Structure 1
Amino acid sequence: MTATVADAPASAARPVSVARGYRFELVKLLSQWRVRLLVLACWLAPALFVAAVSQQSSLPVDTLFGRWMNATGWAGSLVMLGFAGTYALPLLTSLIAGDVFASEDRLGTWRHLLVAVRSPRRIFVAKALASLTIILVLVAGLAASSAVGGVLAVGNRELVGLDGHLLAPADAAGKVLLAWVCVLAPSLALAAIGLLGSVAFGRSPMGLLLPIVVALAMQLVQLLPVPVAVRLALPSYAFIAWNGLFTSPAQLGPLMIGIVVSLVWAVAATALAYLLFLRRDFTNLTHDGSGRRAITTGLLPLVGLFAVTAAVVSPATGATGSGIEQDKVQSSVATAFAHLYRLQTKQLNRPDVTEAQLRATAACNKGGGQVAPQGPGNDWRCVVSWHLPDVEAAGTAIYQLDVTADGRFVADGDGPKEVNGYFQVRTPAGDAPNPLWQFDGNVELLPTTPKG
């Protein structure tokens, strides 16, 4: 009798786990000299830059918090945050997320990767998580390096907020850290757009440039006098809205909207990239992106998402027009003046006075009263009045204002000289310009009271 031995069924090959794929993709990214240089630069360059600029007599006063860089170490980190939101983070997300899929197209390694992992879904998740990890490391480096460089070079001192009030060193440190955490949301949105471009355009340079192009377009919109709803509907506003943390009370409305919008954009762009990736024909070695289909299924939905968010933000917030109105400008200028007057009083060793005693008010017009007092422009003029105890006559001071479309303004003293003229005062950090000479402020674009 002949015995028949049945062959044991071959065990089915199982896909590689996401954890192993993630480690593999992370090692691939960190093995690139370009990525290593970026990590090194983000952890070293900000500290050197902030330390060097803080010791200069000429400060970047046109940058938010730039005028305070030689007064406190925390101002330098905020200057770096403004630079990062405008230039560094769009570039970093392009170089990391915008190339994570396209690199496989250039090297022709998709077939080898699919054979090894055996799951396009897990490949996408592993690559997305690896690129996100590197981006978080880069952002953490920018934040930590700039803060350490500023504190070591200048010191852990009080920070003057955007309404003139003083933040204790511990409070300033917490607000600076929170501001860097808040910009992670728009960074994720740009990273997701980078993933979408890398998947949709393949080895085409357009995929790598997509986050930069989108970021520049959104920044251009932020510079224009567009309605508030349009401004808030773009993820780029979260790169600006952190300045609301440095007023008292904090202007959290625009910041929270910016973060939510950024996260919605991040989820939508990642989902579109995922769907395009799963539909890709990996057997076609000449594949170079999805061409017209990438635009119709990838970019047009983002345009539609922008339209939807803009339509939702306007009725939800009651925001109309530019958001820059006469009463808001007057309130912001008067509040900042009162706080900074107390700071000047302390520096000049005069008797202290409270904001309630000062009763500071501001009367502002635009274009010499010839145009409607609303909207951005460098033709705002404010007359500030205040009272001192036991002094019958009210004091007055004149300021010329340059109000930008995002609500930030620079107030330039225009007399009297002994109040808001240029002169040096003694501070713990050394001689510094009169705090009432020039100061930054912020006008909240959303209505201060909900509309019924």
Structure 2
Amino acid sequence: MSVPVPVARVYRFELVKLVSQWRIRLVVLACWIAPALFVAAVSQQGSLPVDTLFGRWMHATGWAGPLVVLGFSGQWALPLLTSLAAGDVFAAEDRLGTWRHLLVAIRSPRRIFAAKALASLTVIVLLVAGLVGSSVVGGLTAVGNQPLVGLDGSLLSPGDAAGRVLLAWACVLAPTLALAGIGLLGSVTLGRSPMGLLLPALVALAMQLAQMLPLPVSVRLALPGYAFIGWKGLFTGPEQLGPLLIGIVVSLVWALVATVLAYLLFLRRDFTSLADGGSPRRALTAGALPLAGLLAVTIGGIAIAAPISHSGIQQAKVEHSLAVAFAHLYRQQTDELHRPAVNEAQLRSSAACTKGDVADDAEGAGNDWRCVVSWHLPDVKATGTAVYQLDITPDGRFVADGDGPKEVNGYFLVRTPIGDEPNPLWQFDGNVDLLGTTKG
């Protein structure tokens, strides 16, 4: 009686096969080198990627660079890397016609599937580790271990910033695993077709486009890629963990379901027939339809558990987020100008916002938000005011652009006793908690 080869030996064999491919080696090398060079080069440029989250702080701290790389990786790099590592791991055997030889040598389809899945996971983790490690080294080397300004305007110590940056990278492993599961499913069901290789990237692109639409909160959070952008909730005070945790759980469920579907379909394959190399019909009925059902169930479950209004972006939330961020940043500006110290409680900042012609109960994303921030200084009777134009994206991120007065937020530099310095109140990023209450 033949004894199947142990999973550990099959895993080592599959891992060696995977990393022996020149394209995998090249990608691993790029992930461990390119982010450091990119972050170091951009941090020394006069023009920064201010349209990217934390891009405006790349001159100020080395911890901004890894977050810029994280934003790019979630949109483009990780889906493509997952396609290379997981989308072709089964299809390669179909193209080479080596299934029967592999089965004769190992004598267990279950162990073959486990080994290939684990080998793909190992390569994905290696690639992610390279991205985060390289970007951190590049940022700290080029700029230094300085405090980081959060999305609520508060100043995070270098140690706190380091912990949140690493945690943010850990969080995006969940949607990466979801794409990996989809890649395994596509590789099993589509066989020789190149669509199996492209499937994770195409799914990620579809989810990215969906996140740009004015979708209900329940639909937005039910997409398995939400954690690719939900990590920004770690950089507010208090942390906006609700959407992020839901996104992580949804991603892990998708990863599990997609992998189990791939496993069951793999065990049902007829390896004695060279014609059984993938079927679009099987991919639709046994792959796409179950995942579509999972999406529908997830949307319904989130809608029941978190009955939030359509967009989750409401006037009171916007006003509260803006006022909090302004107070933190005003304190930083006060320190830059060497004025008497003031804290957020003393400022008692507030905001009044309108969206277009809507003055009450405004809601939704858009670049037509206009807000007036008011604050009070100790021993000063007059109330200070500043105007901001807000551009809010459907996922809750906003960019506040100062519109005067000039000495407060109307210019990108402030004159200090030691020379001109960047004005923290001129333009800054913030975030609206989609699941938060409207009480400010």
TM-score normalised by the chain length of structure 1: 0.95
Task: Indicate the SS of the match to 1:397.
Answer: strand
Deviation, structure 1 residue 288: 2.6
In structure 1, give the amino acid aligned to 2:430: G
Give the structure 2 partner of residue 155 of structure 1.
144
Assess if the C-alpha contact under 8 Å between 2:371 and 2:390 holds in 1: yes
Assess if the C-alpha contact under 8 Å between 1:164 and 1:336 holds in 2: yes
Q: Is structure 2 residue 428 aligned with structure 1 residue 439?
A: yes
Q: Distance in 1 between matches of 2:158 and 2:235?
A: 13
Task: Indicate the SS of the match to 2:60.
Answer: coil
Q: Distance in 1 between matches of 2:415 and 2:263?
A: 59
Shift in alpha-carbon separation, 1:433–1:67, aligned structure 2, 3 A:
same
CA offsets per residue over residues 285-314 of structure 1, 9 Å max, x none? 132302302210111100110000000001
Q: Is structure 2 residue 308 aligned with structure 1 residue 319?
A: yes
Give the structure 2 partner of residue 387 of structure 1.
376
CA offsets per residue over residues 352-386 of structure 1, 9 Å max, x none? 10101000000001003378510000000000000
Superposed, which structure 2 residues align to 1:17-416 within 5 Å? 17-369=6-358, 373-416=362-405
Assess if the C-alpha contact under 8 Å between 1:98 and 1:197 holds in 2: yes
Deviation, structure 1 residue 436: 0.3
Task: Indicate the SS of the match to 2:407.
Answer: helix
Task: Tell me which of 2, 6, 26 is aligned to 1:13.
Answer: 2
Deviation, structure 1 residue 236: 1.1
TM-score normalised by the chain length of structure 2: 0.97
Assess if the C-alpha contact under 8 Å between 1:400 and 1:413 holds in 2: yes
Shift in alpha-carbon separation, 1:371–1:355, aligned structure 2, 3 A:
closer
Which has more radius of gyration?
A: 1
Shift in alpha-carbon separation, 1:79–1:166, aligned structure 2, 3 A:
same
Task: Indicate the SS of the match to 1:418.
Answer: coil
What is the alpha-carbon root mean square deviation over aligned residues? 1.5
Assess if the C-alpha contact under 8 Å between 1:366 and 1:372 holds in 2: no
Q: Distance in 2 between matches of 1:141 and 1:103?
A: 25
Q: Distance in 1 between matches of 2:404 and 2:282?
A: 62
Q: Which moved more, 1:384-393 or 1:310-319?
A: 310-319
CA offsets per residue over residues 46-88 of structure 1, 9 Å max, x none? 0000000001110000000000001000000000000000000
Assess if the C-alpha contact under 8 Å between 2:213 and 2:394 holds in 1: yes
Task: Indicate the SS of the match to 1:382.
Answer: strand
In the TM superposition, structure 1's runs of 4+ consecutive aligned residues that sit over 6 Å from their partners are: none
In structure 1, give the amino acid aligned to 2:144: G
CA offsets per residue over residues 187-242 of structure 1, 9 Å max, x none? 00000000000000001011111111111111111000000000000111100110
In structure 2, give the amino acid aligned to 1:134: V
Task: Indicate the SS of the match to 1:235.
Answer: coil
Assess if the C-alpha contact under 8 Å between 2:79 and 2:176 holds in 1: yes
Give the structure 2 partner of residue 6 of structure 1.
none
In structure 1, give the amino acid aligned to 2:158: P
Shift in alpha-carbon separation, 1:300–1:430, aligned structure 2, 3 A:
farther
Q: Distance in 2 between matches of 1:291 and 1:218?
A: 22
Q: Distance in 2 between matches of 1:59 and 1:96?
A: 32
Task: Indicate the SS of the match to 1:417.
Answer: coil
Unaligned runs of 5+ in 1: 1-11
Assess if the C-alpha contact under 8 Å between 2:314 and 2:438 holds in 1: no
Deviation, structure 1 residue 421: 1.4
Deviation, structure 1 residue 423: 3.9
Q: Distance in 1 between matches of 2:34 and 2:347?
A: 44
Q: Which moved more, 1:326-335 or 1:294-303?
A: 294-303
Shift in alpha-carbon separation, 1:449–1:253, aligned structure 2, 3 A:
farther
Assess if the C-alpha contact under 8 Å between 2:349 and 2:373 holds in 1: yes
Task: Indicate the SS of the match to 1:116.
Answer: helix
Assess if the C-alpha contact under 8 Å between 2:314 and 2:361 holds in 1: no
Assess if the C-alpha contact under 8 Å between 1:409 and 1:440 holds in 2: yes
Q: Distance in 2 between matches of 1:410 and 1:404?
A: 9
Give the structure 2 partner of residue 5 of structure 1.
none
Assess if the C-alpha contact under 8 Å between 2:366 and 2:393 holds in 1: yes
Give the structure 2 partner of residue 9 of structure 1.
none
Assess if the C-alpha contact under 8 Å between 2:371 and 2:387 holds in 1: yes
User: What is the total number of aligned residue pairs between the two structures?
Assistant: 438
Q: Distance in 1 between matches of 2:352 and 2:17?
A: 61
Give the structure 2 partner of residue 4 of structure 1.
none
